[in-house]
Chains A and B, each alone.
Chain A
Amino acid sequence: MSVTDIVFILTAIVTVGSAVVVVVSRSLIYSVFSLLFTFFGVAVLYVFLGADFLAGAQVLIYVGGILVLLLFGVMLTHRLYNLNLTTERFQPVAGTLIAAAVFASISLAAFKTKWKLVGERELEPTTQQIGEAFLSSYLLPFEIASVLLLVALIGAAMLVRRRTDV
């Protein structure tokens, strides 16, 4: 087992383990903090795939932006501990069966499908390629994404406006 393998396995354990904590923890604070490790783990997985820009963006946006926002949100809630976050309808048998079926089909698909492989690639920075793609073949999605952000902005402004301010 090479060093890379060991690092990969460790990352995988941390990512999946912290994701489990996010779901099962009874305290919102613990959930949010373990989400930090999940996000970092995913960033490391991107590095393993040779996607350097994506890894950087993952850290900047998810860890730096979304997680901090979540933390603020959690800090502002009244009750931090012993929250009962489960719904009234709890169906352990059906839930477990469906989860097992989804897990089995997805992992079988991952291992047994004949994927289209590109073979070994030399590691090189992807930033330039991404930039060029955004301004050539992916120009339209790039622009439409900004319309999407505009709509999100309008929606957010609408939601926070004071009720009297008509």
Chain B
Amino acid sequence: MNLGNLDSLTFFRPELILLGGILLVVISDIALKGLRNLINPLLTLAALLLALFYTLQTDHGSAMTLFEGMLALDNFALFFKVFLLVAGILVLLGSLHSEELASVHQGEFHALLLAVTLGMLLMANSAHLVMLYLSLELVSLTSYVMVGYLRSDRLSNEASMKYILFGAVSTGAMLYGFSLLYGMTGSLDLFAIRDALLAQEVVGFNQVTLVLVVVLTTAGFGFKTAAVPFHFWCPDVYTGAPTPVTAFLSVAPKAAGFAILVRFFLGGLSQPAGEQWAFISGIDWPMVLMVVSVMTMSLGNIAALTQNNLKRMLAYSSIAHAGYILMGVVLLTGTGLKAMLVYLFVYLFMNLGAFFVVTVIFNSEKTFELEDYNGMFRRSPFLAVAMSIFLLSLIGIPPFAGFLGKLYIFGAVIDQGLYWFALVGALNAAVAAFYYMRVMKHMILENDDRPPTPLRISTLNRALLVLLLVPNILLIVFWTPIDRWAANSITLFGGL
């Protein structure tokens, strides 16, 4: 079913609410000078919660397109919308008691957070190359500003500048890929592109050109998901940005990037075949992405080994996780896609958790260096235990949630008989265990000579950490709803 502009508005409530939220925050920032520090976060939270409520309420029957084919509304998009809104809410709560952000004016921060969430929701929905590009650009542009939010901080400025330069190049490459695709099919609509490719049979030099298209567009999506070799911005940007922003970047735009990648490759360059997808003959894009996946996790994990700055280490670790998540995409099966969704969901809680511990420690210690984490267990057992659980979860050790994610991903890979691929993943997980454990060793086993002064944690931050710990511990027991939700969410418009 394809809806016109006016009929689509009923299904567009979450986005409209976010848009209203942006305007209200901007106005209250100017008009309510005395109260703005109290009202802006509340307004932002209300907008995000309301948007989440309406997203959960959305009952679209079967998959359909909105706004004359610009957006696709299906269970897959809904999964990501819920995911992104939850990530937005968690990051907002985490940013409230952050010393880094407290030193600067925060009015714009909340407006930007809403804008970037709006852009990501649109990314998850886009079914048209124009919309795809525009939503990607909305997210990128807002991220550039958020990264450079600490204006008097040199690293923050440098990070923002690097982010813009890399972003401009990869977006340019992606657009060039789109233009080649348009030249071959005469259409910008993903589903029309697929039909055109199926109708004309890709033969001769068109195969080479389509490989070029795959490589060029992967540059754009790879930039958003921080996949090797488009990851160069990632360590510097993650280190320079305010920590709550880093936490946000490492989860939300990455997930939105995966949504758009799946939408483009499965929706545009593949066709459903029985229980799974088949790539349109002549465009072996899974091969390209498989190479990217192996490179991403290997390089991310190996580079993380030698990092002594926690933020930088977590940046490389998040690159490695992008590699694991990609494993689910290249299989072209429903199981693979489901595994990817489960992994993303688990990754949200473990990665945000690790970054929030870093934020909390920075609040009182003003440092990101691993050396300064020595003796943390004696100073705040709660923080050390929480960090250990997040890290063990990131390694994928049972009984924590990360194990569930790895189990699904590797299971789906083995299902397809790609034993070497699963082996590469398992070897990587073993390497990763080393550097995660190293942090735990510093926090728990190594003590410095100073007397252990207790670390102060605000009640809000403590509550938030508990909130993030709960899914990490309990998901392994209550995994059925997640399993069912993910299994439901693999229905793509024009797909299975």
Contacts and interface: CB of A to CB of B under 8 A. Distances in A.
Contacts of A163: 151-152
Interface in B80-132: 104-105, 108, 111-112, 115, 118, 122, 128, 130-131
Contact of B145 (A116, A140, A154): A154
Interface in A21-36: none
Given A115-B183, A136-B5, A147-B115, A109 B208 contact: yes
A82 interface: no
A55 B149 CA distance: 37
A141 B151 contact: no
A134 to B, nearest CB: 11
A116 B200 CA distance: 10
Nearest to A158: B108
Contact of A144 (B122, B184, B204): B122
Interface residues of A, number: 32
A151 B115 contact: yes
A155 interface: yes
Interface stretch (B135-143, B260-268, B440-448): B135-143
Assign chain B's interface to a size class: 35 or more
Nearest to B8: A140
A161 interface: yes
Given A114-B204, A139-B67, A155 B184 contact: no
Contacts of B5: 136, 139-140
Contacts of B108: 154-155, 157-158
Nearest to A156: B145
Interface string B151-174: 110000000000000000000000
Q: Is the interface of B mostly helix, strand, loop or mixed?
A: helix
A137 to B, nearest CB: 4
Contacts of A115: 183-184
A83 interface: no
Given A144-B122, A145-B134, A159-B148, A154 B184 contact: no
Interface string B191-221: 0000010001000111011001000000000
A76 interface: no
A141 B131 contact: yes
Contacts of B70: 137-138, 140-141
B26 interface: yes
Interface in B1-51: 5, 19, 22, 26
B13 to A, nearest CB: 15
Contacts of A77: none
A138 B71 CA distance: 11
A97 interface: no
Q: Is the interface of A mostly helix, strand, loop or mixed?
A: helix
Contact of A159 (B19, B112, B122, B151): B151
A157 B200 CA distance: 50
A147 B118 contact: yes
B141 A109 contact: no
B19 A155 contact: no
A13 interface: no
Which of A105, A155, A159: most chain B CB closer than 10 A? A155
B398 interface: no
Contacts of B131: 140-141, 144
A99 to B, nearest CB: 14
A127 to B, nearest CB: 19
Nearest to B135: A144
Given A116-B183, A137-B68, A140-B71, A151 B145 contact: yes
A20 interface: no
Contacts of B68: 136-140
7 contacts: A112-B205, A113-B180, A113-B209, A137-B68, A151-B145, A152-B141, A159-B145
Ranked 10 nearest A-B pairs via Cβ? A155-B145, A112-B205, A137-B68, A140-B67, A116-B186, A113-B209, A109-B209, A140-B70, A151-B115, A158-B108
Interface of B: 5, 19, 22, 26, 66-71, 104-105, 108, 111-112, 115, 118, 122, 128, 130-131, 134-135, 137-138, 141-142, 144-145, 148-149, 151-152, 176, 180, 183-186, 196, 200, 204-206, 208-209, 212
Given A116-B183, A118-B186, 11 more contacts: A113-B205, A113-B206, A114-B184, A114-B205, A115-B183, A116-B196, A141-B128, A151-B112, A154-B145, A161-B105, A166-B104
Interface of A: 105-106, 108-109, 112-116, 118, 136-141, 144-145, 147-148, 150-152, 154-155, 157-159, 161, 163, 165-166
